[in-house]
Chains A and B, each alone.
Chain A
């Protein structure tokens, strides 16, 4: 037992204490977390405050109140703009808080981000121009001012030319007219889009007045406030994320398990090949039995894979907590995740150890890895059907077929419907039996393989080894 532990310990330390591992497994997630906090601080989304004039040529002939120009003036009044800006800031802050990490630091970052992204109050005057006889010449003159702003003292930003039938028309069969907008160059889209909105609102207001309707009244009737949907769970309530939550959780669980099992398995195979190719194997076998060596190596690399899994589970939980989805997971399915991970790791790890022991070089291992990779691809392909219909006959059967079973169970238990409780013990027992079978088979290949050099074995040779040992 002490020797197995010594092998496992070396295996763990020599894998984890390398630059590649630390960078790949620990630093990357750390950078991701840092990015959540830092990027909102770094990106300056602030719009420069605008000052200038919007000229409106009103050809509608509508003189009653509210007119298009007066409505537009109202829309650009400082108090209206201030109210709009505050509403925007509140909405942005809420959005930023949803993605920022918890805690005072994250909150501050969200506030800063929202503050940054709303524009300073613009100072915009709306100037009404009476249409002249020669409209084209009038518009051309204004365009010239837009084209070359340095020549004029006032800062003309835009020219709005309202169609004559924009507000009312005698011909009821045709749709009402619109307007043309001419803009100075280098204007932000954060100026242009609201301007369109405001002109449109102003025209609609005037049309309603012309049609004898009360705009304020209609507007009130048209509004229905936002209604958040709330999911009622056993231990409280949360906002609904749609069914996507469970769906992505199933994928998350599976990918998490898949990548940690595969990374650990790869390490395991590589170290076995390294021990063979550096000829340290026979030295080791004079001190430990092949079975002890193999067990120690599998346990050591399992600890490595488990470390990877834990790092990502912690990051994942952190993320779920941020998005207020923590109730999707509970200690029960996290424990099951670890149990299925151990089964999956032993199954895949045993295969990887057998391959490592049978070949002399990494290059030779590639060809033998193909069948293992094909098996590993199955849960990836089946993720969709398993997550959508977790309790179909197919899903149930495949859950008991090693080495895909543990992956299938993990996908199913995270999906919306859940798995009948009795299937967990059955899947665990079949998985455990498969683990014993795999270890037994691998031990036989391992015992012979580790001392064989030269041509990599084919399937027949492998079977012969199993029967020989």
Chain B
């Protein structure tokens, strides 16, 4: 399988700040990739360089076999993070205009396809309204239509879920997967690790302009050894001291509905689980699978940053996202 995007040693600076630092990346054709990392990590800058909207200071890029996206713009669908519509334009006219800019021939076929898409997105009745009359969520759906109307081979979506309610988030997810099944290469960026975890088959993690992780979901799950066991004790028991006495347990901390035990170095989780089962009567005993967030924090801490700092970066995101969510609803 060939690569849809090749990024080699790409660096981009804004003044003193290095936004992307010697990035190497290959995106396989037909893949479903998630770019994750906190805000300001360099995700959008990378995507904009791929789109030839901004240009790298050094390094080499190739998109769909061409030297730059400028030459293959018509085969790419792009939903930028900063996205808007022409407020005074009619909904259907806006999609038609975007399609024409993407080189689609105007005609009955295009109009039919626009009609189908609007119906699917539950915007059929809005076709003749002006864009400014749509709610923010409807505008998002409109923007999604205009970036897939020309059946792109490569679909790049920058923070596609931000500002969407759960129903529309699910709708968008279905449409994504559909595009992926159609054979398109799909890349989306998000700072919400859960969305990426659910959807992608490949994760690229960027932090402070540097690629920290580039692997398939399966690889991530197998390579990150599970070192935590969740113990759910019988009602009324408080078995923490008993747990701490077990030799294979390094550390115990209370979590919701139970306790979490960390496996001590030199012991395997299966060995420790057997021991716990022998000592304590439990309602439940399970291995804790790491989330992407845990993996992110793990990687960041390994590279010298404190765990607290890493969590702060992520939580700042969540707060910002929550805030953006309430604002969007308030609009």
Contacts and interface: CB of A to CB of B under 8 A. Distances in A.
B85 interface: yes
B83 A282 contact: yes
Given A279-B82, A282-B83, A283-B83, A6 B97 contact: yes
Given A286-B51, A286-B76, A451-B53, A280 B85 contact: yes
B80 interface: yes
Contacts of B97: 6, 10
A306 to B, nearest CB: 22
Contacts of A286: 51, 53, 73, 76, 78, 80, 147
B103 A2 contact: yes
B101 A288 contact: yes
A288 B78 CA distance: 12
Contacts of B51: 285-286
Interface in B11-28: none
Interface in B32-66: 51-54
A331 interface: no
From A281, A287, A451, name the one whose CB has the most chain B CB atoms within 10 angstroms: A287
A279 B84 contact: yes
A6 B83 contact: no
A283 B84 contact: yes
Interface in B231-271: none
B88 interface: yes
B171 interface: no
B313 interface: no
A281 B84 CA distance: 8
A366 interface: no
Contact of A451 (B52, B54, B98): B54
Given A7-B101, A451-B54, A287 B73 contact: yes
A14 interface: yes
A278 interface: yes
Interface residues of B, number: 29
A286 B98 CA distance: 10
Interface string A280-297: 111111111100000000
Contacts of A2: 103
A281 to B, nearest CB: 8
Nearest to B105: A2
Contacts of B86: 14, 274-275, 278, 280
B177 interface: no
B100 interface: yes
A275 B143 CA distance: 15
A6 B85 contact: no
A3 interface: yes
Interface of A: 2-3, 6-7, 10, 14, 274-275, 278-289, 451, 453
Given A274-B86, A288-B101, 15 more contacts: A3-B101, A7-B101, A10-B97, A274-B87, A275-B86, A278-B87, A279-B82, A280-B83, A282-B53, A283-B78, A283-B84, A285-B53, A286-B78, A287-B73, A451-B53
11 contacts: A2-B103, A7-B101, A274-B86, A280-B85, A281-B84, A282-B53, A282-B83, A283-B84, A285-B53, A286-B53, A451-B54
